Amino acid sequence: MKVAILGYGNIGRAAEMAVKAASDMELVGIFHHDDRIENIDADVVLVCTPTREVEPFASLLAKRGVCTVDSFDIHGEISSLRKTLMPVCQANKAVSIISAGWDPGSDSMVRALMSALMPDGTTYTNFGPGRSMGHTVAAKAIPGVKDALSMTLPAGKGVHNRHVYIELKDGYKFEDVKAALLRDDYFAHDKTEVELVESVAALNTTAHGVLIERDGIVGGHEGQHLDYGMRIDNPSLTGQFMVSCARAAVRMRDDGRYGAYTTIELAPIDLLLGGKEDIIKSLV
């Protein structure tokens, strides 16, 4: 299958490695936001742009009958994105797999499976320790901050603390900058520590993780427990999973299952390289 990449930041670069490693895929191009992608000759495009640009690009490509995969990550707007892309994909014989990072994405599949195994229970998704992209950007925007890194620290039961490392611009006082940061809406709701450091660059990391836990009752028995965890490189895992979803998109298109789908609407077998018989024999 012919695969193209749109957007060449951390995730685009990780996706490039994963496409090149997939023996059933051919990388036919890497495009930047301002390139003309309308006439691209690809089965599927990995949309690795910022989240806000996903919908226009995915729509444009679906109209040309090109499948897409994105890692749109605003949880509250996923359903709306799916609704927008669904008729475009159906009318133009394309498949768009949306929100196919790790959360939303593979974690969503785990939460769905856990709910099927244990309908009565509570699920907590605990992120980190790892760098929060959104909070890091928010910290960098505080006046007086020269560089910043916001770490997400899991405090259990879906509660997260934050540890923010900052470098100061000349002429600013740490206490003033810290106070402004703690008032910011990104940080006002979580327990947040702010630490002044000489070099944020020396601390920076793309390692991340998650622990999903579901506790509840099965068959009248209390105390049943399910958990799922990852310790991974954040952009690499996102890029790899998008590439696996690209395989599913093309297969679903070839089966005539046109439309826009979240990851919980995919069968795991469609994500994997190889023939169904072989996969079933080795993994089931």
By CB under 8 A, residue 116 contacts a copy of itself: yes
- Please report the sign of the dihedral spanned by the C-alpha atoms of residue 58, residue 37, residue 63, residue 43: negative
- The residue within the footprint of a copy of itself, chosen from 32, 93, 173, 276 (CB under 8 A), is 276
Cα–chain-centroid distance for residue 149?
19
- The residue within the footprint of a copy of itself, chosen from 74, 117, 179, 201 (CB under 8 A), is 117
Give the nearer residue to a copy of itself in terms of CB position, either 144 or 239: 239
Could you give the CA distance from residue 64 to residue 139 in angstroms, rounded to a whole number? 40
Residue found under tokens 């907590």 = 124
Interface with a copy of itself (CB under 8 A), residue total: 65
- The residue within the footprint of a copy of itself, chosen from 65, 115, 155, 182 (CB under 8 A), is 115
Could you give the CA distance from residue 83 to residue 62 in angstroms, rounded to a whole number? 13
- The residue within the footprint of a copy of itself, chosen from 71, 106, 126, 150 (CB under 8 A), is 106
Give the nearer residue to a copy of itself in terms of CB position, either 189 or 281: 281
Residue found under tokens 């709910």 = 115
- The residue within the footprint of a copy of itself, chosen from 60, 112, 133, 180 (CB under 8 A), is 112
Residue found under tokens 């679903």 = 252
Q: What are phi and psi of 69, to 5 degrees?
A: -135, 135
**What contacts 24+ positions apart, CB below 8 Å, involve 166-174?**
166/139, 166/194, 166/195, 166/196, 166/197, 166/200, 167/196, 167/197, 167/198, 167/199, 167/200, 168/144, 168/196, 169/144, 169/145, 172/143, 172/144, 173/144
Angle at 127 between CA 263 and CA 9, to 5 degrees: 65
- The residue within the footprint of a copy of itself, chosen from 68, 71, 136, 244 (CB under 8 A), is 244
CB of 110 vs a copy of itself, minimal distance in Å: 7
Give the nearer residue to a copy of itself in terms of CB position, either 15 or 148: 15
By CB under 8 A, which span of 133-141, 168-176, 188-196, 259-267 interacts with a copy of itself?
Answer: 259-267
Give the nearer residue to a copy of itself in terms of CB position, either 177 or 242: 242
Beta strands across the sheet bearing 95-98 = 26-31, 2-6, 44-47, 67-70, 95-98, 259-262
Give the nearer residue to a copy of itself in terms of CB position, either 152 or 262: 262
By CB under 8 A, which span of 38-46, 89-97, 150-158, 269-277 interacts with a copy of itself?
Answer: 269-277
- The 12-51 contact track toward a copy of itself, x by CB under 8 A, reads --x--xx--xx-----------------------------
CB of 199 vs a copy of itself, minimal distance in Å: 23
Could you give the CA distance from residue 14 to residue 8 in angstroms, rounded to a whole number? 9
Inter-helix orientation angle 10-21/234-254, to 10°: 60
Strands 120-127 and 207-218: antiparallel
Chain contacts with a copy of itself (rule: CB under 8 A): 14, 17-18, 21-22, 75, 78-79, 82, 99, 102, 104, 106, 108-113, 115-120, 218-221, 223-233, 235-237, 239-241, 244, 262-269, 271-273, 276-277, 279-281, 283-284
